Amino acid sequence: MVKRIQLVLNQDVSKLGHTGDLVEVAPGYARNYLLPRGLAVRTTPGILKQVERRREIERVRLLELKKEADVLRASLENAGKLAIAKQAGEKDSIFGSVTDREVAEAIQAATGHEIDRRGITVPEIRKLGIYRIDIKLHPDVIAVVEIEVVPSGDPVEG
């Protein structure tokens, strides 16, 4: 059985790993390709410590991002209903639909937080009323906000 060699990647290598990853490869691949091109270095106790330190720093950074997303979620969910004015016709139907951009603008106006609209999931809204919108703030954090679609301008009596 061929013994494999542990290396630490200096650069991203397609189908192998990313910079700083600890990988096991065949000796020939390491000797003939990765090491001569400077794509990887042999592992030593010092390099293994560096890899572990980088992983810990990245883990702390990701944990910090999740905490920030949790705080933002609490802020959004405590903001109450957000109103979005749309031109309405008969039987409370609206002209057009509510877009993620309108939801993002309503959130920014109400809370001062800028939200990436790619994370906003808007159901199809065709009538006036109250709707729940999911906002993905982080892979593990989803905020649910309520929006109320209200008629714009003066309501017509009749």
Q: Are β-strands 141-151 and 22-25 bridged in parallel, bridged antiparallel, or unpaired?
A: unpaired
Residue closest to 143 by CA, chosen among 92, 82, 77, 56: 77
Q: How far apart are CA 19 and CA 9, in angstroms?
A: 5
Q: How far apart are CA 143 and CA 81, in angstroms?
A: 13
Domain ranges for the chain, please list them.
5-67, 71-151
Q: For residue 79, how many other CB atoms are within 10 A of its CB?
A: 17
Strand partners, 22: 8
* The pLDDT of residue 158: 35
- Please name the amino acid found at residue 146: E
Q: For residue 73, how many other CB atoms are within 10 A of its CB?
A: 18
Q: Is the pTM of this model over 0.85?
A: no
Residue closest to 150 by CA, chosen among 80, 81, 78: 81
Look at the domain 71-151 and name its fold.
Ribosomal Protein L9; domain 2 (3.10.430)
pLDDT tens for the chain, 158 residues: list them: 668 999 999 889 989 988 888 899 999 999 999 999 999 999 888 888 988 898 899 899 999 999 999 998 998 888 888 888 888 888 888 888 888 899 899 888 888 888 888 999 888 888 888 999 999 988 889 999 999 998 886 554 43
For 37-77, the pLDDT digits (tens) are: 999 999 888 888 988 898 899 899 999 999 999 998 998 88
Q: Are β-strands 120-121 and 129-138 bridged in parallel, bridged antiparallel, or unpaired?
A: antiparallel
CATH 3.40.50.1970 for the 5-67 domain, yes or no: no
* The pLDDT of residue 154: 52
Alpha helix positions (H), 42-149 = 45-77, 100-111
